[in-house]
Amino acid sequence: MDGYLFDLDGVLVPTAALHQQAWAALFGEFFAADGVRPPYGADDYYKYVDGRPRCDGVAAVLASRGLTLPWGDPFDPPTAPTVCGLGNRKDQYFNAALAAAADFAPYPETVPVLQALGGRGAGLAVVTSSENATQVLARAGLTDWFPVVVDGRHRRLHGLAGKPAPDTFTAAAGLLGLSPARCAVVEDAVAGVAAGRAGGFGLVAGVDRGAGAPALAAAGADAVMTSLEGLL
């Protein structure tokens, strides 16, 4: 492949635990306040929020319990009783968890794999639903590897559909000057793998960091691996 389009959380950096912690804090308290059953559990993360834009994840968890809230606005304060307000509260919890994680670093294989792919002249991009990509990349020391970053801010600015739609990956391939057929999508989330499949990319690599190989294969992964070294 001439280009590699990497998801960020759970692919390049082990932020999944921090995101899971933030979602559990949000819905733990939100559901407990109203006696919503069943309580938020670990499965909800993989089923409803992993890989999706934040507000879409909030709406999906609420819908799973038969709940709806007004959508609100991306700039709602974290206290607002809206889908976006809850999403922003989750973001607050995530940023606090990231700041408190003293030894935050990429996965051990991340930099060696980027060195190998970069050494072959491959184009490298990050494609993430995250609104925190810039901070997370900087904190992990990865900023300089990626001339192209299509993140949540870019998506909103350009009116692109989020994963599982392929649009953000297609945009990143275009920014690298490559067709989708010449690019690999590297994803750990079912929604992201589905986006890669829908976009007609040359390779869709599913990295199993917890979603499970059967789920990634069913979503359309050409290959499922447990480490990025599977790309080499």
CB of 216 to Mg ion, least distance (A): 11
Active-site entry in 2, 9, 43, 91? 9
103 is catalytic: no
Could you count the other beta carbons within 10 Å of the beta carbon of residue 121? 7
CB of 62 to Mg ion, least distance (A): 21
* Residue ranges of E strands in the chain: 3-6, 123-127, 148-150, 183-187, 203-207, 223-225
CB of 186 to Mg ion, least distance (A): 10
7 is catalytic: yes
- Answer whether 84's CB lies under 8 Å from 72's CB: yes
Name the residue nearer to Mg ion (CB basis): 7 or 91: 7
Name the residue nearer to Mg ion (CB basis): 80 or 205: 205
Name the residue nearer to Mg ion (CB basis): 80 or 133: 133
Helix, strand, or coil (residue 166): coil
CB of 11 to Mg ion, least distance (A): 6
For helices 167-175 and 190-198, what crossing angle results, to 10°? 60
Write the secondary structure of 94-146 as one string of H (helix), E (strand) and C (coil).
HHHHHHHCCCCCCCCCHHHHHHHHHHCCCEEEEECCCCCHHHHHHHHCCHHHC
Name the residue nearer to Mg ion (CB basis): 7 or 76: 7
Residue nearest to Mg ion (CB): 10
State how far the Cα of 28 lies from the Cα of 31, in Å rounded to an integer: 6
Binding footprint of Mg ion on the chain (CB under 5 A): 7, 9-10, 188-189
Strand partners, 186: 6, 205
- Answer whether 12's CB lies under 8 Å from 6's CB: yes
Q: What amino acid positions are annotated as catalytic residues?
A: 7, 9
